[in-house]
């Protein structure tokens, strides 16, 4: 098993400036670093190195996405505006998405890193890939940056798989704790891209990600939202994957599966209220590897999204990549015993009720819609 790691130091140089986490800088609160900083992601890379896992990974150098590739998802006006602001002193891509000088080039490299991941798997250079890219992408819409996301990395990569590589069906499984609204918007009427988002009910964006939003026109039934109640733990996540995600993927028969891999459903995250653990992510990864082996010859990529506990995300990232690579480094998550014993880790009845509703949506997915 060879696992690729897409990484570039420039990802860490995307400058979100000061604010007070997500509050705007101003005279009401003392400025502090922005919460979407390089720290969490760099610390994942550092733990890969110190644990020794990095020696087992094939490091893949990303290329920038071309303007043509970005324009498959975004408007020209939007792309031009980001470039102009980035060439000057920086700006805000829309909503809660500050960026500094040079972030345009870095955002192109993030989208291109996800394209690099797609190509590496389709060309069988590696078995699977984790793209540790930054800035994240799943909130970015056609003409609007949102939630720290400038370009829609995963959507751009899936369009590459469809348009440039000729795949008929691809699937995105978004386990970031926030709704993958950008990916939903990009493919809402497209039955060739199955989009599944597992998120905390009505967290961010507000009023986004309802279970009743299932797609439109030809894409009806090919967008599945699973808005889990706040407080959901490992039991709820594993049940969601076993009872909704896996059946939907088996029905859809994608030729490539992409995980939008936010690590902000962890019990330690300040931007959400879920209770996932590093071992929970390991279990979800195992489930995804198994279903990918069955339906698409193991073609699985993970593209990094959010994750705002710099202390804890390294353990989650390490667990995911250990599982993908089939290697255990022996580095243990020191918080795992404590987090695993927290009340509410098993699936609760009100969580199961949501999962049962979503399971009905998974039953309606058919591969033949695109044949």
Q: What's the closest the beta carbon of residue 339 comes to Zn ion, in angstroms?
A: 19
178 binds Zn ion (CB under 5 A): yes
Residue with Cβ nearer Zn ion (167 or 302): 302
Residue span binding Zn ion (CB under 5 A) among the ranges 37-45, 254-262, 279-287, 350-358: 254-262
Strand partners, 20: 23
Collapsing DSSP to helix, strand or coil, 32 comes out as strand
Q: Look up residue 334 and give its DSSP letter.
A: T
The encoded tokens of residue 55 equal 């020696």
174 binds Zn ion (CB under 5 A): no
Residue of minimal Cβ distance to Zn ion: 306
Are 169 and 222 in contact by the 8 Å Cβ rule? The answer is no
Question: Strands 223-228 and 94-95: what pairing?
Answer: unpaired
Distance CA 107, CA 90 (A): 13
Residue with Cβ nearer Zn ion (64 or 306): 306
Q: Look up residue 13 and give its DSSP letter.
A: G
Q: What's the closest the beta carbon of residue 180 comes to Zn ion, in angstroms?
A: 9
Strand partners, 91: 99
- 10 Å CB burial of residue 353 (0-12, 13-18, 19+) is exposed
178 tagged catalytic: no
182 binds Zn ion (CB under 5 A): no
Q: Look up residue 99 and give its DSSP letter.
A: E
Residue span binding Zn ion (CB under 5 A) among the ranges 60-68, 193-201, 220-228, 259-267: 259-267
Residue span binding Zn ion (CB under 5 A) among the ranges 51-59, 165-173, 303-311, 321-329: 303-311
Residue selected from 91, 94, 233, 262 as contacting Zn ion according to rule CB under 5 A = 262
Q: What's the closest the beta carbon of residue 44 comes to Zn ion, in angstroms?
A: 15
Residue with Cβ nearer Zn ion (177 or 324): 177
The encoded tokens of residue 99 equal 């960026």
* Interacting residues toward Zn ion by CB under 5 A: 176, 178, 262, 264, 306
């Amino acid at each position: 098993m060879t696992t690729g790691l897409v990484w570039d130091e420039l990802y860490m140089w995307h400058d979100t400036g000061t604010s007070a986490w997500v509050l705007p800088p101003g005279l009401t609160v003392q400025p502090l670093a922005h919460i979407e900083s390089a720290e969490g992601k760099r610390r994942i890379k550092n733990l890969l190195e110190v644990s020794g896992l990095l020696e087992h990974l094939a490091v893949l150098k990303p290329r920038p996405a071309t303007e043509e590739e970005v324009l498959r998802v975004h408007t020209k006006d939007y792309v031009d505006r980001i470039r102009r602001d980035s060439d000057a002193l920086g700006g805000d891509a829309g909503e809660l998405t500050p960026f500094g000088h040079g972030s345009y080039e870095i955002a192109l490299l993030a989208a291109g890193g996800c394209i690099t991941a797609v190509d590496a798997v389709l060309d069988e250079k590696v078995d699977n890939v984790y793209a540790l890219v930054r800035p994240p992408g799943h909130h970015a819409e056609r003409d609007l940056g949102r939630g720290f996301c400038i370009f829609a990395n995963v959507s751009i990569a899936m369009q590459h798989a469809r348009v440039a590589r000729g795949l008929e069906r691809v699937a995105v499984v978004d386990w970031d704790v926030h709704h993958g609204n950008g990916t939903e918007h990009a493919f809402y009427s497209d039955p060739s891209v199955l989009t599944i988002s597992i998120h905390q009910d009505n967290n961010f964006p507000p009023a986004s990600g309802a279970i009743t939003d299932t797609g439109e026109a030809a894409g009806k039934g090919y967008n599945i939202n699973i808005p889990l109640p706040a407080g959901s733990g490992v039991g709820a996540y594993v049940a969601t994957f076993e009872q909704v995600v896996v059946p939907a993927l088996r029905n859809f028969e994608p030729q490539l599966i992409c995980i939008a891999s936010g690590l902000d459903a962890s019990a330690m995250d300040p931007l959400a209220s879920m209770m996932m653990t590093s071992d929970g992510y390991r279990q979800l990864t195992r489930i995804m590897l198994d279903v990918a082996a069955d339906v698409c010859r193991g073609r699985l990529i993970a593209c990094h999204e959010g994750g705002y506990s710099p202390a804890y995300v390294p353990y989650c990232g390490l667990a995911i990549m250990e599982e993908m690579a089939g290697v255990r480094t022996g580095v243990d998550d020191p918080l795992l015993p404590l987090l695993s014993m927290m009340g509410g880790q098993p699936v609760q009845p009100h969580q199961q009720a949501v999962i049962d509703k979503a399971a009905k949506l998974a039953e309606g997915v058919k591969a033949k819609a695109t044949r």
